[in-house]
Every structure is written in structure tokens, then in C-alpha cells.
């Protein structure tokens, strides 16, 4: 470094003792630290020491000039020097040298040229731009009368970092935070208000309105000639139903001319009421109670009446066509001649002790309705029901709606080998397979192993449903048969017998009674000897091959086990004839004796 690297105005001052700072950044850092130290040193005695530090700093800063080529850095360094020269004069006991202006040492020509190039390419760094732009945003907000432009989310967090740098940014951040707080407060108040309103609505208003609607029904029903008032009240109740417990609409209430198709009520209680010309088609009234209710000229077509009770109800001139009557109970009900169950889902419905009008046309009113899946029929009713037309049953709405989707679900959830296939086969079999168009040809007697080994996998969609039933039954049997052969398999004898029961049942319906009888005799009944159903079906299979002794023997054992046939009466009707039929009817009537009709059931004897 030159002896005269730094000069003072007027006279050169030697600065050889002063080492330059490594760079402008270091010089700037030292400047900042010195400012902080000076700001904190108030005692005059200490400030003397500070003055000396300042002088030393000025000397080093001036010497740094030889390393600074970039013009802006040189200008900055000179400004720093001048700042400290001024400060020095404000400190106690200035020296004569303090009154002289110190200039930055000159750099080499090469350094100057390089610095000029660097300066030409200089751009503000991204963070600096961020701060400046943020400040510009803050000013925009300020100048716009402090409307709009408020920050939220990440932008607010980012701006908060720089809030201490600028008043405008501070005010913008403050206003933004206040606005957010306000929004939060409003939201909280709104939420509290909303929750309160909902709670009030749920626990005060809705129960009150529901109660009023029920009272209105009870008060106006008698004089409501066109049913509109009651209908409106019922609609109201339907509206509140998702938030309310089941309604009690029972008692001596007259529902006349009420047109409320599609009404949705959860387990409403209409017990002991009177329905005249009420239209509830397509409604959802599952778990409802119509016990002891008088229903006349009404329409429940397509309604969901699953698990609904019609115990001791008096029903006349009413249609349940295509209605869902799964597990519905018509026990001891009185059913007039013009009550229609056509296409209704009667699975596990109960008609125990139900009285049908003498003239009740079972053949037409139970058309395409799986009455055999219902329970409680006496022999006279079964005999009459067997006349009902069941054509195109697999294509019926009931099958498509209730049986097929359930089967698909079960297949997905099956957790035991062959269970889903067996369930499919069983569903199809109990639903009833159509009789073969032509008697099947005698098939060679094949062992189960032979059957299983020769099975060809065919896509289910390519099979008719009777074929599908047999295919599924065989598949189920073969799966368990294969498993049974492996050493690690549990005892599957009972399972296999159960699956064989299904397979034989399907075979029997398909006209292959010999095979079915063999299976029942050899594979099923030895194992399922306490299963009344299997024994009953074994009896029918042997009846089908004219082995009457064995048929009666199996029938006797099923009676002993108190088995009452249901679906078999329809699916195996071709084999239940003559004395065999008589014996079965006797068996049924033993457990389901005809009962005298209830007093309210005028002219009915069935």
C-alpha cells in the first residue's frame, strides 16, 4: 500500500499504520458496529476512548480505498468516512486533525475498470426488491385512503418480518392483522351465533314445530275434507324428520284423501288410525306401525315399508304393488279382496294368522311376488298362491332391486371358502329356477372329483341364471372339496354337506332329480341329519324319483324337527302332488293352524 494511500484535504496524512478492511462489506459491518457502540457510550470519559476508535476506523476506511474499484462502493465508503469525521467533531476534545476532511485512497486503473463493469451489471438482490415492493404496496394502501390492499396468509407473514423497517409497512401489517382479527372475531361470533341458532333450531324450534304439526293433524283431520291440511302437516313432519325422533301419529285420527306421495318418515306410528283414500305411493315409511289401523282405498305402490307392522290391520281396496315389504308383518291382519301385492318384495314378510277375503284373487294379486319367501301361510293359502303367475321372475324389479345387489355385496365380503358362490346359488334356488324347457338327458354318474376336474370356467355374464345357479353351486362345492384334501384344512365335512344341499336343490329344480336324490342320500342327510330343511328337500328329491318310502321317511324326520316348508312349496311344486302334498299340507297346518278371523274382519274366512 502506498504511503499516501489516504490523504486529507490540504495536507497528506500518513496512513501506513492503518490496515485496510478486506472488502466494502467488512468496512460496512465495522461501521455499523461502531455506530452501535457510539450510541451506547454516553459517559464523556468513555467517549474519549470511542473518539480514538473512530479515528482508527477512519484511517482504515480511507486505506480500504485502494481495494475498492466499483464506483458505488467507493462513494459509499467515502460517505462512511465523512459521516465519522462529522461524528468525531461532536465528541469531546476534538483534535486539530479532526477538522480535516479525509479522502478515500485511490485504486489502481485495472481495479477501477473492473469496478465500472461490475457496477454496470449490478441489480438489487431479491430480498431488497421484496422489501422495496412491500413498502410500495404499503404506500399504495396508505394513499388509497387505507382501503383494500390488505395482506393475508403468507403475504402477511412475509411482510411482518419487515414491519420494523418502515412505518408504512408497519401500519399496513398492523391494519392487516387487525382486519384478520376482526374477521376472526366476526367468524367466531357468527360461529357461536350459528351454533346457538342450530341448537335452538334442533332442540327448541324443530320439536316445537313438529309438535304443532302433530297437534294440527289431530285437530284438523276430522274436518279436513280434502286432506290438504293433513298433507301439509305431514310434509312438515317429513322435513323435520332427519332431526327428530319417530312421530307418534297414532290414535283415533282420520287420514282422508291425503295425497302425500314420496313422504319420508322414520318409523311413524299410525296405529289405530283410519286411512281412507290416502296416496303414499313411493313413500319411505320403513319401520312404520299400522297395527290395528283401518286402511281403505289407499295407495302404497312402490313404497318402502320394510319392517312395517300391519298387525291386526283391516286393509281393503289398497295396493302394495312393487312395495318393499321386507320383513313386514301382516299377522292377524284382515285383507280384503282388492288388496294388491303384485310385484311386492315379500322376503321374510309374515302373514301368520292373516285373513284374506273369500274372494281374494291370489293368482293375480300376488303375481310376480315371491310369496314363498314370506312366512306364516297356511295350506289353503299356499294352494291358492301356487296359482299366482310368476313369469319372468328373474327379470322382476324385486329380484333386481333386492336379491342381485345383495348377492354382489356378499360376494365381496365373503370370508369363508365357497361362501359367496354358495350364497348366490342358494339365493337363486330359493327365488326359484324356471323349470327346464325339456327334460334333461340322463347324465353319466360322475364323482365329485371328476366333476370338479372337468369344470370349465365360464364368465358369469355368459350364463343364464339357472345355469349360473348350478355353476355357482358346483364351484362352491369344488372349492371346499379341494380345500378338504389339503392337510392343513379344518374339518370341512359339515360345510361340504351344506354346499351339496344347495347343489342338489338346484339340480332338483333343473329336473336332475336322480342326481339330487343321490346327493341328498349319500352326501347331505348323513351329515345334516338335524337340518329339517335339508331333510325336507331330500324327501322331495326322493318323491321325484318315486322312492316314496324314503321320501316319507325323510318327511317324517323333518316334521319331527318342526320344519315348516316355505320356498320349497313354490320351487319344488312340480314334485309336490297327491298324497305327498297332502302329507305336507298336514305338516304345515299342524304348525300354522287356521285361525278364526278377527271380529273387525267382516265376511272373510280365508
- Binding stretches for other proteins (CB under 8 A): 9-10, 24-25, 28-29, 32, 39-40, 42, 70, 72-73, 75-76, 78-80, 82-83, 85-86, 89-90, 94, 98-101, 122-125, 127-129, 131-133, 135-136, 139, 165-167, 169
Specify the residue for cell string 290391520: 313
Count of C-beta atoms within a 10 Å radius of residue 193: 10
- With beta carbons less than 8 A apart as the criterion, state whether 257 and 278 touch: yes
Q: Which is nearer to other proteins, 83 or 394 (CB)?
A: 83
Under the phi-then-psi rule, with left for phi > 0, alpha for psi from -120 to 50, and beta for the rest, what region is 41?
beta
DSSP string, 454-485: T-----GGGS-HHHHHHHHHHHHHHHHHHHHH
Q: How far is the CB of 55 from other proteins (least distance, A)?
A: 14
Q: How far is the CB of 56 from other proteins (least distance, A)?
A: 19
Q: How far is the CB of 54 from other proteins (least distance, A)?
A: 13
Q: Which is nearer to other proteins, 9 or 200 (CB)?
A: 9
Which of these, 55, 48, 45, lies nearest to 17 by C-alpha position?
A: 55
Specify the residue for cell string 353351486: 473
Q: How far is the CB of 74 from other proteins (least distance, A)?
A: 9
Q: Which is nearer to other proteins, 72 or 181 (CB)?
A: 72
Q: How far is the CB of 117 from other proteins (least distance, A)?
A: 13
- With beta carbons less than 8 A apart as the criterion, state whether 247 and 268 touch: yes
Q: Which is nearer to other proteins, 146 or 397 (CB)?
A: 146
Under DSSP, the state recorded for 127 is H
Specify the residue for cell string 361340504: 496
Q: How far is the CB of 165 from other proteins (least distance, A)?
A: 4
Which of these, 423, 435, 404, 424, lies nearest to 507 by C-alpha position?
A: 435
Q: How far is the CB of 90 from other proteins (least distance, A)?
A: 6
Q: Which is nearer to other proteins, 89 or 489 (CB)?
A: 89
- With beta carbons less than 8 A apart as the criterion, state whether 537 and 558 touch: no
Q: How far is the CB of 28 from other proteins (least distance, A)?
A: 4
Q: How far is the CB of 155 from other proteins (least distance, A)?
A: 17
Count of C-beta atoms within a 10 Å radius of residue 423: 18
List the grid coordinates of 564: 315348516
Q: Which is nearer to other proteins, 78 or 513 (CB)?
A: 78
Angle CA 16–22–26, to nearest 5: 115
Angle CA 82–88–91, to nearest 5: 155
Q: How far is the CB of 75 from other proteins (least distance, A)?
A: 5
Q: How far is the CB of 2 from other proteins (least distance, A)?
A: 21
Q: Which is nearer to other proteins, 134 or 564 (CB)?
A: 134
Q: Which is nearer to other proteins, 41 or 581 (CB)?
A: 41
Rg, the chain, Cα only: 49
Q: Which is nearer to other proteins, 31 or 567 (CB)?
A: 31
Q: Which is nearer to other proteins, 24 or 275 (CB)?
A: 24
**Sheet of strand 294-296: strand arrangement:** 254-256, 274-276, 294-296, 314-316, 334-335, 355-356
Q: How far is the CB of 235 from other proteins (least distance, A)?
A: 60
DSSP strands (E only) in 357-429: none
List the grid coordinates of 190: 357468527
Q: Which is nearer to other proteins, 37 or 548 (CB)?
A: 37
**Residue 296, strand partner residues:** 276, 316
Provide CB contacts within 8 A for 209, sequence distance 6+: 236, 240
Segments in 432-561 forming alpha helices (H): 448-453, 465-485, 493-509, 513-519, 532-544, 548-560
Provide CB contacts within 8 A for 389, sequence distance 6+: 363, 364, 367, 368
Q: Which is nearer to other proteins, 62 or 373 (CB)?
A: 62
Q: Which is nearer to other proteins, 87 or 337 (CB)?
A: 87
| Distance, CA of 327 to CA of 487 (rounded, Å) | 43
| Distance, CA of 473 to CA of 426 (rounded, Å) | 8
| Distance, CA of 507 to CA of 501 (rounded, Å) | 10
Q: How far is the CB of 26 from other proteins (least distance, A)?
A: 10
Q: Which is nearer to other proteins, 99 or 600 (CB)?
A: 99
- With beta carbons less than 8 A apart as the criterion, state whether 24 and 31 touch: no
Q: Which is nearer to other proteins, 47 or 556 (CB)?
A: 47
DSSP string, 188-232: HHHHHHHHHHHHHIIIIIHHHHHHHHHHHHHHHTTT-TTSHHHHH
Cα 434 to Cα 85, 316, 341, 565, distances in angstroms: 114, 33, 21, 19
Q: How far is the CB of 127 from other proteins (least distance, A)?
A: 6
List the grid coordinates of 495: 360345510
Which of these, 521, 523, 516, lies nearest to 498 by C-alpha position?
A: 523
Q: How many CA atoms lie within 13 A of 238 on its CB side?
A: 15
Q: How far is the CB of 16 from other proteins (least distance, A)?
A: 23
Amino acid at each position: 500500500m502506498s504511503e499516501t494511500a489516504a490523504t486529507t484535504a490540504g495536507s497528506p496524512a500518513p496512513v501506513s499504520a492503518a490496515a485496510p478492511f478486506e472488502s466494502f462489506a467488512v468496512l460496512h459491518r465495522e461501521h455499523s458496529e461502531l455506530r452501535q457502540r457510539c450510541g451506547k457510550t454516553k459517559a464523556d470519559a468513555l467517549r474519549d476512548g470511542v473518539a480514538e476508535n473512530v479515528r482508527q476506523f477512519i484511517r482504515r476506511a480511507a486505506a480500504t480505498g485502494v481495494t475498492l474499484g466499483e464506483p458505488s462502493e467507493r462513494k459509499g465508503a467515502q460517505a462512511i468516512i465523512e459521516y465519522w469525521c462529522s461524528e468525531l467533531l461532536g465528541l469531546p476534545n476534538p483534535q486539530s486533525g479532526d477538522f480535516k476532511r479525509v479522502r478515500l485512497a485511490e485504486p489502481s486503473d485495472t481495479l477501477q475498470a473492473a469496478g465500472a463493469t461490475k457496477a454496470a451489471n449490478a441489480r438489487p438482490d431479491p430480498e431488497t426488491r421484496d422489501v422495496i415492493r412491500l413498502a410500495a404496496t404499503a404506500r399504495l394502501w396508505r394513499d388509497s385512503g387505507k382501503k383494500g390492499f390488505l395482506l393475508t396468509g403468507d403475504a402477511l407473514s412475509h411482510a411482518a418480518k419487515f414491519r420494523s423497517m418502515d412505518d408504512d409497512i408497519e401500519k399496513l401489517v398492523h391494519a392487516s392483522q387487525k382486519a384478520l382479527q376482526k374477521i376472526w372475531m366476526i367468524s367466531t361470533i357468527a360461529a357461536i351465533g350459528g351454533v346457538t341458532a342450530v341448537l335452538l333450531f334442533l332442540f327448541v324450534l324443530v320439536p316445537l314445530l313438529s309438535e304443532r304439526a302433530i297437534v294440527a293433524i289431530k285437530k284438523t283431520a276430522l274436518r279436513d275434507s280434502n286432506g290438504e291440511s293433513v298433507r301439509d302437516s305431514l310434509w312438515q313432519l317429513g322435513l323435520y324428520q332427519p332431526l327428530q325422533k319417530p312421530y307418534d301419529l297414532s290414535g283415533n285420527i282420520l287420514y282422508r284423501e291425503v295425497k302425500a306421495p314420496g313422504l319420508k318418515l322414520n318409523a311413524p306410528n299410525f296405529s289405530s288410525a283410519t286411512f281412507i283414500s290416502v296416496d303414499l305411493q313411493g313413500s319411505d315409511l320403513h319401520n312404520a306401525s299400522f297395527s290395528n289401523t283401518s286402511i281403505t282405498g289407499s295407495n302404497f305402490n312402490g313404497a318402502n315399508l320394510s319392517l312395517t307392522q300391519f298387525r291386526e290391520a283391516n286393509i281393503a281396496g289398497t295396493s302394495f304393488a312393487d312395495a318393499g315389504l321386507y320383513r313386514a308383518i301382516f299377522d292377524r291382519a284382515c285383507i280384503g279382496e282388492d288388496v294388491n301385492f303384485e310385484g311386492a318384495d315379500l322376503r321374510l314378510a309374515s302373514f301368520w294368522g292373516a285373513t284374506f277375503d273369500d274372494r281374494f284373487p291370489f293368482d293375480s294379486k300376488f303375481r310376480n311376488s315371491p310369496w314363498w319367501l314370506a312366512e306364516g301361510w297356511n295350506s289353503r293359502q299356499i294352494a291358492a298362491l301356487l296359482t299366482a303367475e310368476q313369469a319372468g321372475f328373474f327379470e322382476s324389479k324385486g329380484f333386481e332391486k333386492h336379491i342381485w345387489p345383495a348377492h354382489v355385496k356378499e360376494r365381496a365380503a365373503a370370508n369363508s371358502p365357497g361362501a359367496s358362490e354358495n350364497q348366490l346359488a342358494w339365493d337363486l334356488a330359493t327365488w326359484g329356477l324356471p323349470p327346464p324347457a325339456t327334460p334333461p338327458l340322463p347324465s353319466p354318474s360322475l364323482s365329485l372329483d371328476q366333476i370338479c376336474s372337468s369344470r370349465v370356467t365360464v364368465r358369469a355374464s355368459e350364463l343364464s341364471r339357472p345355469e349360473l345357479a348350478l355353476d355357482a353351486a358346483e364351484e362352491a362345492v369344488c372349492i371346499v372339496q379341494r380345500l378338504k384334501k389339503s392337510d392343513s384344512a379344518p374339518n370341512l365335512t359339515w360345510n361340504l354337506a351344506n354346499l351339496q344341499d344347495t347343489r342338489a336343490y338346484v339340480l332338483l329344480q333343473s329336473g336332475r332329480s336322480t342326481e339330487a336324490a343321490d346327493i341328498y342320500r349319500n352326501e347331505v342327510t348323513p351329515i345334516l341329519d338335524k337340518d329339517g330343511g335339508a331333510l325336507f328337500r331330500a324327501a322331495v328329491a326322493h318323491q321325484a324319483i318315486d322312492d316314496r318310502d324314503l321320501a316319507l321317511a325323510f318327511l317324517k324326520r323333518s316334521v319331527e324337527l318342526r320344519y315348516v316348508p316355505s320356498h320349497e312349496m313354490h320351487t319344488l311344486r312340480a314334485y309336490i302332488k297327491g298324497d305327498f302334498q297332502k302329507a305336507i299340507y298336514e305338516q304345515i297346518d299342524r304348525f300354522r293352524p287356521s285361525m278364526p278371523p278377527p271380529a273387525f274382519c267382516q265376511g272373510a274366512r280365508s
